[in-house]
Amino acid sequence: MAEITAALVKDLREKTGAGMMDCKKALTENAGDIEAATDWLRTKGLSQAGKKADRVAAEGVVAVALRNDGKGMTGAVIELNAETDFVGRNETFQGVARKVAAVALDNGADVEAVRAARTADGEEVQTLVTNLIATIGENMAVRRTAKLTVAEGSVSAYVHNAVAPEVGKLGVLVALEGAADQAAMQELGRKIAMHVAATNPLSLSAEDLDPAAIERERAVLVEKAKEQGRPENMIDKIVDGQISKFQREVVLLEQPFVMNPDQTIKALIADSGKALGAEIKMTGFVRLALGEGVEKKESDFAAEVASMTGGN
């Protein structure tokens, strides 16, 4: 049997537009014969997916999954994109998203690993998505995945704008570590997750904040102070104070809790730990909003219709 090299897989993928794992399987089934593999993909309906690969997929759903690991927990959140909101409301599509989220519980933030992994039904995730593309007729992709785990404590999930259980437009995970009652910690984590959905913090703590974000903000504030005619020798001191305010606004632990603005998230966690009789530490959070960062192509529907009808 001919060796199925990465270059051969790449050639078939470029020729057919089918998924990488589908191309590898096609070549394996056809002893490395690229023409026979192309026909094999066509008979399976998989090469049709490639014809849609250049279309922007910025709709779809975000899905979450949780697993109890005894004293600890694991949570995962994934983004499964499609081209239209209509498909995002499709129950079959939502079911696939839940399956992908369940797979991500073991494969975490490595989106390629998630795509190559198998669901509980034994089907490869990428093949599952590719088959759905062929069935529904839209470009789709597992775009992002994330995972949080605690050895002792809880991971909570919140879905904003839910279109079905565990599926919606925005998903948040919150990880709390500690020996307090797990159910109580999970409820606390859900409240914090709702806060994260509303405020979109940049980091958990000031130490985690990206230095580049601080420098960008500082540069803006310095220019603003100069335009306002502030004394040159006072600008640094003024900007330092504004940077401290900026950090309080974007760092989760320093933010006022949306359900009780007199209390910061840090204080909420500390007070809850005292009430439950055990120290609680927040170890991480993840917030995925559907389509963020995807450049959507603007289209003029009326113009498209006119062009197809000759302007009549």
Q: How many CA atoms lie within 13 A of 120 on its CB side?
A: 9
pLDDT band, very low/low/confident/very high, at 62 (cuts 50, 70, 90): very high
- pLDDT above 50 for 257: yes
Residues 237 and 195 placed together within one structural domain of the fold: no
CB–CB of 38/70 below 8 Å?
no
Q: What is the DSSP code string of 101-164? A: HHHHHHHTT-HHHHHHSB-TTS-BHHHHHHHHHHHH-S--EEEEEEEEEESSEEEEEEEET-SB
Q: What is the pLDDT of residue 299?
A: 43
Asked if residue 255 is part of any domain, the answer here is yes
Q: What is the pLDDT of residue 53?
A: 47
Residues 40 and 176 placed together within one structural domain of the fold: no
CB–CB of 107/119 below 8 Å?
no
Number of domains present in the structure of the chain = 3
Residues 138 and 111 placed together within one structural domain of the fold: yes
Q: What is the pLDDT of residue 14?
A: 67
Residue 162's domain is classified under what CATH number?
Answer: 3.30.479.20
Residue 28's domain is classified under what CATH number?
Answer: 1.10.8.10
CA distance 30 to 40: 8
| pLDDT tens digits along 104-159 | 999 878 899 999 999 999 999 999 998 898 888 888 999 999 999 999 999 999 99
Q: Worst-scoring range by mean pLDDT, 32-46, 71-85, 205-219, 223-237?
A: 32-46
CA distance 16 to 30: 15
Query: CB neighbours of 293 closer than 8 A, spacing ≥ 6?
Result: none
Asked if residue 298 is part of any domain, the answer here is no
Residues 23 and 117 placed together within one structural domain of the fold: no
Q: Worst-scoring range by mean pLDDT, 49-63, 177-191, 220-234, 271-285?
A: 49-63
* Domain extent for 23: 6-50
Asked if residue 21 is part of any domain, the answer here is yes
Residues 102 and 146 placed together within one structural domain of the fold: yes
Q: What is the pLDDT of residue 303?
A: 45
- Percent of the chain scoring above 70 in pLDDT: 87
Residue 214's domain is classified under what CATH number?
Answer: 1.10.286
Residues 142 and 21 placed together within one structural domain of the fold: no
Mean pLDDT in residue range 63-83 = 96
Asked if residue 299 is part of any domain, the answer here is no
How open is the CA angle 95-98-103, to the nearest 5 degrees? 130
Q: What is the pLDDT of residue 112?
A: 92
